[in-house]
Amino acid sequence: MAADPARTATLRDAVGLGVAVGLYGVAFGAAAAGAGLDTWQALAMSALMFTGASQFALVGVLGSGGGALAAVGSALLLGTRNTVYGVRLAPLLAPRGLLRRAGAAHWVIDETTAMAVAAPDRELGRLAFWVTGATIYLGWNVTTVVGSLGAAGLGDTAQAALDAVVPAAFLALLWPRLQRKASEAAVQRRVALAGAVVALALTPFVPAGVQVVLAVVAVALAGRPRPGPAAREAAA
């Protein structure tokens, strides 16, 4: 139904998120320019890689003097979470045929997954995925070019503002998971805290970007299956 308020809300959120993510695109374009990538290379990353954290990781490693393998490796390590997202989205999207699956795969990222999974039903989930994907893809690529071209003219203050926006945006994505009405909010909070602490603790010792992946792996291993209380009682 076109006038369905849930549908309208989904469309509004998807477009709003696309606009907001555009802010990152400027930051990415500027970061890429700072790392020595020209505008075509920055645009190729946004158009072909199209997964923000991996893109930031790659130019971050290049910018801090890292080698080609470390740069690609950190992008891939961060890209593994899109595999997890794809596993989660596969039953919801159920893309028919190789071509449609290949197309859908390109847009499997943090934001489209969050929007699709949060939608109240499957049909709205698919709508959220495609609309969020389309608006972000468009905005992300346009603003990457803007950031790359504008980087030369960007003052320190604007750069400081952009640096501050990125963690704030991730916090906004995390926030709803920690609220009391979320499922297992207490566990989510412990997991989030553990992820942050492990990542900070590893920061001095591992290549840039790798601590994030190791933090997730550590938390996943900590949650590995163990005999529950019932099984222990049965054994006793």
User: Which of the residues 191 through 210 are near another protein (CB under 8 A)?
Assistant: 191-200, 203-205, 208
CA distances from 29 to 74, 154, 177 (A): 18, 11, 30
Q: Annotate each residue in 143-172 with x if it binds another protein (CB under 8 A) or - if it does not, as one string.
A: -------------xxx-xxxxxxxxxxxxx
Q: Restricting to residues 207-236, name those near another protein by CB under 8 A.
A: 208, 211-212, 215-216, 219-220, 223-225
Q: Alpha helices, DSSP H only, in the chain?
A: 5-34, 39-44, 52-63, 68-93, 98-106, 110-118, 122-150, 156-178, 185-202, 210-222, 229-235
Shortest distance in whole angstroms from residue 3 CB to another protein: 23
Q: Is 86 in the site for another protein (CB under 8 A)?
A: yes
Shortest distance in whole angstroms from residue 131 CB to another protein: 16
Phi, psi values for residue 158, rounded to 5°: -65, -35
Q: Is 53 in the site for another protein (CB under 8 A)?
A: yes
Only segment of 2-10, 77-85, 127-135, 145-153 that touches another protein (CB under 8 A): 77-85
| Number of Cβ atoms within 10 Å of the Cβ of 85 | 19
Residue carrying the six token digits 């071209």: 149
Report the b/e string of 169-207 with b at 16+ CB within 10 A: beeeeeeeeeeeeeeeeeebeebeebbeebbeebeeeeb
Choice between 5 and 167, CB closer to another protein: 167
Choice between 78 and 127, CB closer to another protein: 78
Q: Is 187 in the site for another protein (CB under 8 A)?
A: yes
Number of helical H runs and strand E runs in the chain: 11, 0
Q: Is 85 in the site for another protein (CB under 8 A)?
A: yes
Shortest distance in whole angstroms from residue 1 CB to another protein: 25
Shortest distance in whole angstroms from residue 94 CB to another protein: 10
Q: Count residues near another protein (CB under 8 A).
A: 97
Residue carrying the six token digits 């919801």: 92
Tally of residues, the chain: 236
Q: Restricting to residues 118-147, name those near another protein by CB under 8 A.
A: none
Q: Is 79 in the site for another protein (CB under 8 A)?
A: yes
DSSP 123-163: HHHHHHHHHHHHHHHHHHHHHHHHHHHHGGG--HHHHHHHH
Choice between 127 and 169, CB closer to another protein: 169
Only segment of 97-105, 126-134, 144-152, 227-235 that touches another protein (CB under 8 A): 97-105
